[in-house]
Structure 1
Amino acid sequence: MKPDPLGDWRRTHFSTEIVPELSGEEAVLMGWVTDIRDLGGIKFFILQDIRGSIQVTAPKSKVDPEILDKINSISKESAVGVKGKARAEEQAPRGVEIIPSEIRVLNPAKIPLPLDPTGHQKADLDTRLNSRLLDLRRPKSQAIFKIKHAACQAIREYLISNGFIEIHTPKIVRSATETGATLFPISYFEREAFLSQSPQLYKEVLTGCFDKVFEFGPIFRAEEHDTRYHLNEVLSADIEVAFVTKEDVMGVLEDVLVEVFKKVKQKCSEELKVLEKEIDVPEKPIPRITYDEALDKLEEAGKRVRWGEDFSIPEQRELGNIINGAYFVNDWPADLKPFYIMAHKENPKLSHAFDLLYDEIELASGGTRVHQKEVLIKQLKNKGLSPKQFKYHLKNFEWGLPPHSGWGLGIERLTMALTGARNIRECVLFPRDQKRLTP
């Protein structure tokens, strides 16, 4: 057997922890080789890790010949460990470098590489996704996912601090949440089952015992959209709250959005700089317009939409230009919304539903839910759905299920708004769409 290349070595520092003030101190760093250069009397390479990068410099007059031979043999993107001393050097990046006393190649990279992780040589999105490991070493790719992480953390912290309980609902279900047209069927022993479109029905039921609940989880939609805003598997942040109306949960969503933008701006300044993206924290109250008012604004801008139709991306972009930034659209036609959304008493053609948009991107949808069994059965039938398929859900409404409201927020679309990514696939580690089931 080959000896363990790691041996007794363990990382002592990340790249960004090596600063000029540590000059003369020994450190062990581990990461990937991104650049190698030979200037005759000196060889050096850049070592990248999750925190950043540092220059490893090997002057022929100061290092053993085997160190120089080792550098000659290293291929770009190989995983390596470096032991050496920090040295303050004005000409080095960040004013400091490592003079190596030992280098271990932990796993060599096969060349030629399918793409350039430094980003100096451009690659199309398909090439990048097909070699996702290398692509995710690109500074811009890492910046997107660090921002996505910060956004999720901000949402979770806000909700927990405001009394929400995190839940985890099934992703294999017996019947549709909304309509069978957008379900992925799967073989479940001798029966047919489906991948969940939404935690909607479960989170509604759980308001009857936990009052305020939230979940981060995948949702699956068998929709044949082939756009830069749509995927067939995405991450959704969902909440549901007992004894409130849509106005209350819109307030929660408004607070969440402001908190996310604020935390990302505070914590991810370096990542935003890498992406050349500036973000403005939305001001409260976020503008609210009705569906009818949105139609009027679009007509004034020369875009006529028939009542009862959904908005296209160009129409949403026009509304974003008119309103500027984030905005709510309230009181949607009932025919456009799922069966569980409550209709207006005075005008049943309208629903107590809302969408949150940011420029042209629809970020979230929500509303006040139906909590009366008889009304829910009627609305199921109106949508062409069989109440028998929902018998396990419907019986919960016989046991004092409270009035409740909630929403679902698309995390990848939120990440697009935060990072300026032009395609939602850039905001998913391994995206799934009609054409892509690998890697």
Structure 2
Amino acid sequence: MFRTHFISELNDNLDGKEVKLAGWVHNIRNLGGKVFLILRDKSGTVQVVVEKSSKAYEVLNQLSLESAISITGSVKKDERAPNGIEVHAKEISIISVSKSPLPLDVSGKVKADIDTRLRERLLDLRRPEMQAVLKIQSVAVKSFRETLYKNGFIEVFTPKIIASATEGGAQLFPVMYFGKDAFLAQSPQLYKELLAGAIERVFEIAPAWRAEESDTPYHLSEFISMDVEMAFADYNQVMQLIEQIMYNMINDVKRECEKELKVLNHTLPDVALPLRRITYSEAIEILQNKGLNIKFGDDIGTPELRLLNEEIKENLYFIIDWPWLSRPFYTKQKSDNPQLSESFDLIYKWLEIASGSSRNYIREVLENSLKVRGLNPTSFEFFLKWFDYGMPPHAGFGMGLARVMLMLTGLQSVKEVVPFPRDKKRLTP
């Protein structure tokens, strides 16, 4: 047995009791007569006192920072110790010795740039800040799932090797599939629509790939997409669902990750429902009034959203009713204004974190939408054929987990919040 307790389980009730702990050497201070060793596991750190007269002292000269060890010792209350508790070591077993010097300081005393951190990623992931990020992410994903389960959704899994582009774009990674050309999926969009046509309410949390040339703090080549599709619904119902998801997610993280938020020195935004909705046309007008050279039909990217946020000053809000031709072919036009679509983006301050719409569910409408965009309906026959069999009205959205994590952690780049990011320059580790 490597341990009897995690460090977080040590308390006053164990005073005088023997425990066995396992973890990594976080720091060592030799004061001559005794040595103070900081041991770290997934739950936190504890001060370990090693007396010169103890058996444990004999192995100290073999230890280096980040070595994996197991310690047997007795718990003692001491107000001078961090957290008011320390462990007096009787034996130290060396499990795995770490090379020295370390290429990255896990204690954080010596700061490292993002490239060094990503190159030495395992050591970086041992830092308390990254441990906090991963815990927050776990709670956020759990909250996302729980909200959807409570609303009658079923978790599904769709193919990640596909025969054609999901949205007709060129941002695809080709792969060889038994001698045939295939691609890594940009999105589960078409498959989740078909599944909604069978079991009505579905969601998926899975990787997706986009061969984007963008090299910004907000883009990845491989990312985790959180996708939802619901039948007999339109984009208004989907926006109401997202409001529930975001409200629950933020409050669950507040409740379950108080320690982690403190480590990151981050305060989560307050969310009052319903979220504000402004139309695309209103957003364009606001930007024009602020002197920006922008017109109807233009995209509203991050620079424009920064300017827009100066005016509306909202943590979370929707931009709705985007131009129909600027959205994917499956997006439904507004009946009262065909230039516009029943679509939305969810914005955190100046960053798009989700996008969704009502979908076209009539085959002829879908075929026309493809042709208008210069796409060949024949290439999408595997999808279109099922619209001959009573496809219901449906709507949904896709949300980028890494971008949501920027909101939940206060960090500035999606590369920081992903354990092993993939972008234009990075294929390892």
Residues 269 and 315, structure 2, Cα contact 8 Å, conserved in 1:
no
Secondary structure (helix, strand or coil) at the match of 1:381 reads helix
- Quote the residue 2:48 is aligned against: 56
Residues 321 and 359, structure 1, Cα contact 8 Å, conserved in 2:
no
Secondary structure (helix, strand or coil) at the match of 1:40 reads coil
- Quote the residue 1:10 is aligned against: 2
The code of the aligned residue for 2:194 comes to V
Runs of 4+ in structure 1 deviating by more than 3 angstroms, as ranges, are: none
* Residue among 176, 193, 212 paired with 1:187: 176
Shift of the alpha carbon at 1:345?
2.7
- Quote the residue 1:3 is aligned against: none
Secondary structure (helix, strand or coil) at the match of 1:339 reads coil
Shift of the alpha carbon at 1:20?
2.7
- Quote the residue 1:165 is aligned against: 154
Shift of the alpha carbon at 1:322?
2.3
Residues 305 and 349, structure 2, Cα contact 8 Å, conserved in 1:
yes
The code of the aligned residue for 2:96 comes to N
Superposed, 1:227-266 pairs within 5 Å as 227-266=216-255
* Residue among 332, 337, 344 paired with 2:327: 337
* Residue among 31, 34, 43 paired with 1:39: 31
* Residue among 331, 348, 355 paired with 2:345: 355
Q: Report the count of equivalent residues.
A: 428
- State the TM-score, normalizing by the size of structure 2: 0.98
Residues 320 and 326, structure 1, Cα contact 8 Å, conserved in 2:
no
Q: Does 1:223 align with 2:212?
A: yes
Which stretches in structure 2 are left out of the alignment for 5+ residues?
A: none
Residues 19 and 94, structure 1, Cα contact 8 Å, conserved in 2:
no
Residues 232 and 394, structure 2, Cα contact 8 Å, conserved in 1:
yes
Task: State the distance in 2 between where 1:233 and 1:381 align.
Answer: 29
Shift of the alpha carbon at 1:305?
1.6
* Residue among 58, 61, 68 paired with 2:57: 68
Task: State the distance in 2 between where 1:318 and 1:327 align.
Answer: 14
Q: Does 1:22 align with 2:14?
A: yes
Shift of the alpha carbon at 1:312?
2.5
- Quote the residue 1:384 is aligned against: 374
Q: Tell me which moved more, 174-183 or 196-205.
A: 174-183
Shift of the alpha carbon at 1:162?
1.1
Which stretches in structure 1 are left out of the alignment for 5+ residues?
A: 1-8
Q: Does 1:104 align with 2:96?
A: no
Residues 203 and 213, structure 1, Cα contact 8 Å, conserved in 2:
yes
Residues 326 and 358, structure 1, Cα contact 8 Å, conserved in 2:
yes
The code of the aligned residue for 1:174 comes to A
What CA deviation, in whole Å up to 9, does each residue of 1:58-78 have, x standing for no partner?
A: 1224x23xx212122200001
Shift of the alpha carbon at 1:279?
1.1
Task: State the distance in 2 between where 1:30 and 1:437 align.
Answer: 32
- Quote the residue 2:425 is aligned against: 435
Shift of the alpha carbon at 1:318?
2.1
Residues 28 and 84, structure 1, Cα contact 8 Å, conserved in 2:
yes
The code of the aligned residue for 1:365 comes to S
Shift of the alpha carbon at 1:435?
0.3
Task: State the distance in 1 between where 2:170 and 2:387 align.
Answer: 26
Q: Does 1:151 align with 2:143?
A: no
Secondary structure (helix, strand or coil) at the match of 2:61 reads helix
- Quote the residue 1:6 is aligned against: none
Secondary structure (helix, strand or coil) at the match of 2:334 reads coil
Secondary structure (helix, strand or coil) at the match of 2:346 reads strand
Percent identity, aligned pairs only, is: 47
Q: Tell me which moved more, 177-186 or 158-167.
A: 177-186
How much is the aligned-residue C-alpha RMSD, in angstroms? Answer: 1.0
Residues 320 and 358, structure 1, Cα contact 8 Å, conserved in 2:
no
Q: Tell me which moved more, 312-321 or 96-105.
A: 312-321
- State the TM-score, normalizing by the size of structure 1: 0.96
